[in-house]
Chain A
Amino acid sequence: MTDLNIVALVSVGAHPTSARPRRAEQDARAVELGLRLAGQNLQLLHAGDPQAEALRGYLGMGLEQLDVLEQPEGADALPLLVDYLQGSRTQLVLTGSQAETGEGSGMLPFLLAERLGWPMVVGLAEVEKVENGVAQVLQALPRGQRRRLKVRLPCVASVDNAAPVARQSAFGPARRGQIEAHEVTVVDDTLLAEASLQPAKPRPKRLKVIKAKTGAERMKAATAKASGGGGQILKDVSPQEGAEAIFKLLIEEGVLR
């Protein structure tokens, strides 16, 4: 355990079959990771309604307090969080990858890191050590692979299902925990107000064609790295050349037109 200043951003989740409010699965994993790193020093932060009962699910994991930046539904959480975090001595911000309610765009950690000007780690699985303001972490990649990264603190890190499972939430601490509401200037989410929402369609799955003839080939296919095949490694190139290569790829893939 370290004496890092860690903040876990938590939201109100929804159960996948009953849609009842609950602690969000990935946010709870972020809290679990934070608890393992900082214990009681972990700070929980939520932007929204301090009366939401589901928030107590996080307190039930053994924390005494949860700070809420009070704002109505439909307000933009981002500027509040940026303001709050800039003014604090936070070194690590942990979040889930995607909220279970609201927009659930999964953009918040990226936008937050951009506004704060902090590095961002996706799919944090473990923090191995922190030395001289640099954290050595393991990032989760598909198929159980891990990548060791060194990140300058402060940074934002999102967790997905590769992070440790959240501990049980207990009734006693959940009931006792304090929810501290902070009054902040509410910023309307103009984009949300103007834009129209439509139900998401599940992304079509790529057909899996098994060409392997032997067991060994099947094993190889199953454990191989996910790859597009046409990748290219650029080494020792100038930033200009690198940027051009990325730009070219983005046009080829149809991201930029």
Chain B
Amino acid sequence: MLNTLLPILLFAALTLAVIGAAKRFFMWRRGRPAKVDWIGGLLKMPRRYLVDLHHVVERDKYMSKTHVATAGGFVLAAVLAIVVHGFGLHNRILGFALLAATVLMFTGALFVAKRRLNPPSRLSKGPWMRLPKSLLMFAASFFIATLPVAGILPPDFGGWVLAIILAVGVAWGVSELFLGMTWGGPMKHAFAGALHLAWHRRAERFGGGRSTGLKALDLNDPKAPLGVEKPTDFTWNQLLGFDACVQCGKCEAMCPAFAAGQPLNPKKLIQDMVIGLAGGNDANFAGSPYPGKPLGEHSGGPHQPIVDLNGKALVDAETLWSCTTCRACVEECPMMIEHVDAIVDMRRHLTLEKGSTPNKGAEVLENLIATDNPGGFNPGGRLNWAADLNLPLLADKGETDVLFWVGDGAFDMRNQRTLRAFVTILKAADVDFAVLGLEERDSGDVARRLGDEATFQHLARRNIATLTKYRFKRIVSCDPHSFHVLKNEYGALGGNYQVLHHSTFIEELVRKGSLNLGQSKAASVTYHDPCYLGRYNGEYEAPRAVLKAIGIEVKEMERSGFRSRCCGGGGGAPITDIPGKQRIPDMRMVDIKETGAELVAVGCPQCTAMLEGVVAPRPEIKDIAELVAEVLIEATEVAAKRPAAKRELAEVQ
């Protein structure tokens, strides 16, 4: 009896799963076209899954082992079950193999069940609580049903009673594991996830690569949408990516905005996009809501606007503006979903079409358009900070080894100390360098992250036009944001440069022995990794090496390196200033204080500003350039020369 029932069950489930898969596929294809390598992507998928994705999952050893056993066991068991029970190939060896696979899967599923006993808040509940039971049921049913095939039990063992029980078990198992994959159950992550890996919009990320620059909008085509208004404005493989979410909540656990009580939860955002893709409301979402926003009030559909500025749609605008673009979610995501891209895409629509950048956003963008700096300062004052430093201008030299990209920190009195320290180092190491001076403009970082792609491209194109006039080997910047944009985002507009962060450059100088350094007196020091240097560009080592070279042993924070917590200053978040329960820099300062450090070394003007904004008593904040300049042996000579230069200037005026 089982021999007739099982093939019917298996093939019925498979057929329905294929229909569901087709339905889902056409749902994704409602998105805008995207160029993908259809066949090549599919061929590379197993490697991406087994290597790249596994690397991310491996950070949580318990889960990676559990997943290998469960998923590996399931895939084997499913294939063998189709052969053995579906096609009736009752071979003893195959039977034993199937038994082994189900045992493996059952063991894994036990650990899945164990973690679900007292699940952390980041995990989604609801249907996900049912999944371990379904896995156990699938494995157990096929185990028992296969025993006769392996010859361990007689073929008609148990009679029709056991047959019916097994049939029910198998039906439950295949419903969850075959049907659920394509009809929207928890197992959907396996189907959508595999295809997401195959047709990922940033294929460069696989094989140890890095792809963090935002993708440019085509502003020359007046018909192309300016950002994303409704779910179908995403590219289709972005929609596919959202569907791959396994709701593990690793992003939620890392998101600084969520921890600060701002109305953002990256996991919920991705699930909202899935709701938008399929249509419906968020009442059945089984995870943590956006802080302060109850479930069940928001709904949407593929062709409905995601944000309604005068009411409620799928997502509220302030959710999108809470993001600091720190990329902690993307770094954590075992499915390699691109949260930040999606958020900036939706911001683009709000800024470029609706003109609704909140709080100081509009003012900052207007300043960038009118004065090339976000503060609205007179562009003629861009080099005032270096009035007494006699900096070589690239316009005079025409050619240089190192182009020092000053950045908008030039207008900020705190950051000017860092810049001056770095100039001291450059001079001490006798580096052939020059600055653009008044020819430099804002890199466009903040405009782009506020969604104003037009202003970004305008600034970028003018900067590129300036840079094309001159010859230089490398660009060095003290600002990780300028560094990232110049390095990773100007390329699409025709500007390809070799760009270094000043910490990398100083490390190189130290290694070459160009700097005569003493030992720092700073007693206990910790180091805060800037997001745009670390997660965006993978530079964790150089700043630490520099600190080590001046005799500083870094007391690492619990969240450092790729897990560093954002200072709250990225993505225009201080400008849009969405209220939460606490401030992100305050939380970061708690992290810093936990190490017992009296000084925190930083490498970013934004981090400096945000951390110095925390009320005292708190550890001192110093840029790496300042720490190095302090222990320069030549420092005394330079200091002796300085007053003379100043007097000269005073006489001129």
Are A170 and B370 closer than 8 Å at their CB atoms? no
Name the residue on A nearest B362 (C-beta): A168
CB distance from B448 to the nearest CB of A (A): 13
A60 CA to B355 CA, complexed, in Å: 8
Looking at the complex, which one of A17, A20, A61 makes contact with B355 (CB distance below 8 Å)?
A: A61
**Contact yes or no, A170 B352, CB < 8 A:** yes
Does A84 have its Cβ within 8 Å of any Cβ on chain B? no
Nearest-Cβ distance from residue A173 to partner chain B, whole angstroms:
7
Contacts A17-B376, A175-B222: A167 and B355 contacting too (C-beta < 8 A)? yes
A21 (CB) vs chain B CBs: closest residue: B370
A-B pair count, CB < 8 Å, reads 53
Instruction: Judge if B353 is at the interface, Cβ distance under 8 Å.
Output: yes
- Select which of B222, B355, B377 is within 8 A of A168 by beta carbon: B355
A106 at the interface (CB under 8 A from B): no
Q: Scan B343-375; emit 1 where CB is below 8 A from any A CB, else 0.
A: 000000001111111000110011001111000
Picked from A20, A168, A172, A173, the residue with its CB within 8 Å of the CB of B370 is A20
Known: A17-B377, A18-B370. A170 touches B222 (CB 8 A): no
Is A171 in the interface zone, CB < 8 Å from B?
A: yes
**Would you call B371 and A15 a contact (CB within 8 A)?**
yes
B227 to A, closest residue via Cβ: A172
Is B148 part of the contact surface with A, judged by Cβ < 8 Å?
A: no
The answer to whether A168 touches B365 (Cβ under 8 A) is yes
Task: Confirm or deny: A146 has a beta carbon within 8 angstroms of a beta carbon on chain B.
Answer: no
* Interface contact A15-B355, CB-CB below 8 Å: no
A168 cross-chain contacts in B, Cβ below 8 A? 351, 355-357, 361-362, 365-366
Contacts of A44-82 to chain B: CB distance below 8 A: 60-62
Q: How far is the CB of A98 from chain B (nearest CB, A)?
A: 19
Contact partner, A22, options B351, B354, B370, Cβ 8 Å: B370
Q: How far is the CA of A18 from the CA of B453 in the complex (A)?
A: 22
B369 in contact with A22 (CB, 8 Å)? yes
In the complex, what's the smallest C-beta–C-beta distance from B317 to chain A, in angstroms?
A: 13
Contact partner of A172 (CB less than 8 A), chosen from B353, B377, B378, B379, is B353
Contact with B along A157-196 (1 / 0, CB 8 A): 0000000000111111101100000000000000000000
Interface presence of B337 (CB below 8 A): no
**B361 partner residues in chain A, CB cutoff 8 A:** 168
Q: Hey, which chain B residues are within 8 Å of A172, CB to CB?
A: 226, 352-353
Residue from B226, B356, B357, B371 in contact with A17 in the complex, judged by beta carbons closer than 8 Å: B371
| B452, CB-defined interface residue at 8 Å | yes
Known A-B contacts A18-B378, A62-B355; the reply to A171 vs B454 at CB < 8 A is yes
B369-A170 in contact (CB<8A): no
Q: How large is the interface on A (under 10, 10 to 19, 20 to 34, 35 or more residues)?
A: 10 to 19
Q: Which single residue of chain B is at the shortest CB-CB distance from A166?
A: B362
From A15, A18, A61, A173, give the contact of B353 (CB < 8 A). Answer: A173
Task: With both chains docked as a complex, state the minimum distance between the C-beta of A67 and any C-beta of chain B, in angstroms.
Answer: 22
Q: Is the pair B379, A18 in contact by a Cβ cutoff of 8 Å?
A: yes
Interface on chain A toward B: helix, strand, loop, or mixed SS? Answer: loop
Those of A1-50 within 8 Å (CB) of chain B: 15, 17-18, 20, 22
Provide the bound-state CA to CA distance between A20 and B226, in Å. Answer: 26
> A170's contact among B351, B376, B379, by CB below 8 Å, is which?
B351
Q: Is A18 touching B371 in the complex (CB atoms < 8 A)? A: yes
Q: Are B222 and A176 in contact (CB under 8 A)?
A: yes
- Provide the residues of chain A in CB contact with B362, threshold 8 Å: 167-168
* Contact mask for chain A residues 129-172; partner B; CB cutoff 8 A; 1 contact, 0 none: 00000000000000000000000000000000000000111111
Residues of chain B with a CB closer than 8 A to A22's CB: 366, 369-370
With beta carbons under 8 angstroms apart, the residue of B352, B366, B372, B376 that contacts A171 is: B352
**Mask: chain B, 135-174; 1 = CB below 8 Å from A; 0 = not:** 0000000000000000000000000000000000000000
**Which residues of chain A come closer than 8 Å to B371, judged between CB atoms?**
15, 17-18, 20
B370 nearest in chain A by CB position: A15
Question: A171 vs B352: C-alpha distance in the bound complex, in angstroms?
Answer: 5
Given contacts A20-B369, A172-B353, 8 further A-B contacts (CB under 8 A): A17-B371, A17-B378, A18-B370, A20-B370, A22-B366, A170-B354, A171-B351, A171-B352
Give residues in B with beta carbon < 8 Å to A: 222, 226, 351-357, 361-362, 365-366, 369-372, 376-379, 452-455
A-B contact pairs, 24 of them (CB 8 A): A17-B377, A17-B379, A18-B379, A20-B371, A22-B369, A22-B370, A61-B355, A62-B355, A167-B355, A168-B351, A168-B355, A168-B356, A168-B357, A168-B361, A168-B362, A170-B352, A170-B354, A171-B226, A172-B226, A172-B352, A172-B353, A173-B353, A173-B355, A175-B222
